[in-house]
Chains A and B, each alone.
Chain A
Amino acid sequence: MYTASDLRKGLRLKIDNEPYVIIEFNFVKPGKGQALYRTKLKNMLTGAQFDRTFRSVDTFEPADLREKKMQFLYKEEDKYCFMDNETYEQIYLTEDQVGDAKNFMTENIEVEILLFEDKPIGLSLPNFVDLVVTEAEPWAKGDTVSGTTKPVKVETGYTIQVPTFITEGEKIRIDTRTGEYLTRVKG
């Protein structure tokens, strides 16, 4: 059980049987008045955000959340299948649960599956992934302005802005947190 003084940014709570994470936190208190804990909460199932103020007498249930390394196997209709390489257990996430991560997932990539009360609810990717460029306009001769970019498509189907010198078939490194190009990968 958490008490109000445990509240802080990043803490995960169970409210009305759903997991929430505190994304903003502020302690406020009129000098002679009661302590109030103002939070912005994000529902970890739906992504919905809302403001909520707690009092010092409130108590909170921790959300039973854990992460487990699993391998992405394949996509079938709107379901994504992952496997635990030790137990061979397979689980599925929906398109919504996978969210933007689908832009960076290739078959066999290892991800952290987030479990709430042992049920899979989402995943987190490695911070960096290397993907092959599958479609790119050829480099236009004479285009020497540095800092200019062009859109290319990578093997997952994701379109990304890269420097103009990147060509089809090359591998590039992407930051999965921002979705942005980092560097060209040799080999």
Chain B
Amino acid sequence: MDYHFYLARKSQALRARARLTQSLRAYFINRDFLEVETPLRIPAPAPEEHIEAIPADGWFLQTSPELCMKRLLAAGYPRLFQISKCFRKAERGRLHLPEFTMLEWYVAGFDYQKLMAQCEELIRSAAAESAPGSLKRSGRSISLTPGWEKLSVAEAFAKYAPVSMETALAQNRFDEVLVEHVEPRLGAVKPTFLYDYPASLAALAKLKDGHPAVCERFELYIGGLEIANGFSELTDAAEQRQRFDEALKKRAAKHWASYDMPEKFLQALDALPPCAGAALGVDRLAMLCVGADKIDDVVAFAPEDL
């Protein structure tokens, strides 16, 4: 391949991407958030059933900066953000890079509802420079005017899937049905928040007050792309330990790497104030700004180019 020509042709996308990260950063700096840099190489990633970390000299490359950022929050930093590389083993596709760029932010005193509103404001503000008024996917534009759609996961399954959320969960087909029938329909005209995930998919989210079958977790979809994931954070160390234990057992059953329990994070968790946080895929948002078809189009080098 003629890489000189190939890279030169990416100029427009790389410029739009740079403007996007600059405006994301500006949004937080203007609102008195502290930008932090936490280590990329960590001894104990959060045990999750479906996310595998890449080993690095006895430790691991982070799959997300979540644990370190929450330790800072627990120590009294109320508004934090970070734009960093995250690494996930064996994730490669049109929308996946094993090394990708994540924006992660936390706000003390917020719950997931307030965070959804902030997410909307953030994306509108960040896109204002790179893609004024609308984002693009598959040649169609998606309007960012206020009043984004909100659908609970159960409602979205009822609306788009051939089976209910409960049935899909009972048949262990939640992800298949979500990917095949629900995701492609989300955020087609304007962005859609999918919220109130089943409690079994809570990860590090708090269960919903008065409705323990679901958790206070949301995902933002734009043009069928999963862009951001956020929750009202779980602040109960005992419950978090139990969830990590379950995830470790499931990981062991499929012979995935065993992680040490992130003890320092769990110790800090009891001091974590009520807060909410979200992670946003910067590469995918850049794709929407330039109307790119695949994630390779918005990074200078995909792994295969190296």
Contact = CB atoms under 8 A, between A and B. Distances in A.
A34 B50 contact: yes
A5 interface: yes
Contacts of A36: 175-176, 179
A28 B203 contact: no
A28 B182 CA distance: 13
B92 A27 contact: yes
Given A36-B176, A57-B254, A28 B219 contact: no
B226 A35 contact: no
A5 B201 CA distance: 24
A33 B94 contact: no
A27 B96 contact: yes
B180 A53 contact: yes
A29 interface: yes
A35 B229 CA distance: 17
B50 A32 contact: yes
A31 interface: yes
A29 B178 contact: no
Nearest to A37: B93
Given A5-B90, A35-B50, A57-B254, A30 B96 contact: no
Contact of B219 (A29, A31, A34): A31
Interface residues of B, number: 26
Contact of B183 (A5, A30, A32, A38): A30
Give the one of A28, A32, A38 with max B CB within 10 A.
A32
A26 interface: yes
Contact of B93 (A28, A31, A53): A28
A122 to B, nearest CB: 31
B176 A29 contact: no
B91 A53 contact: no
A35 B174 contact: no
Contact of A26 (B94, B176, B226): B94
Contacts of A57: 254
Given A5-B90, A35-B91, A57-B254, A30 B179 contact: yes
B254 A29 contact: no
Contact of B96 (A29, A32, A34, A56): A29
B216 interface: no
Contacts of A56: 90, 254
A32 B94 CA distance: 17
A52 B251 CA distance: 25
Interface string A47-61: 000000100110000
B79 to A, nearest CB: 23
Interface in B171-190: 174-176, 178-180, 183
A26 B93 CA distance: 6
A57 B175 CA distance: 14
Interface in B49-108: 49-51, 90-96
Contacts of B229: 31-32
Given A33-B178, A34-B175, 8 more contacts: A30-B183, A31-B226, A31-B279, A32-B201, A33-B50, A34-B49, A35-B90, A56-B254
> A-B pairs with the 10 shortest C-beta distances?
A27-B93, A33-B175, A34-B50, A34-B175, A5-B90, A28-B179, A31-B229, A32-B203, A57-B254, A36-B179
15 contacts: A26-B94, A28-B95, A29-B93, A29-B96, A29-B179, A30-B178, A30-B179, A32-B51, A32-B201, A32-B203, A33-B178, A33-B179, A34-B49, A53-B176, A53-B180
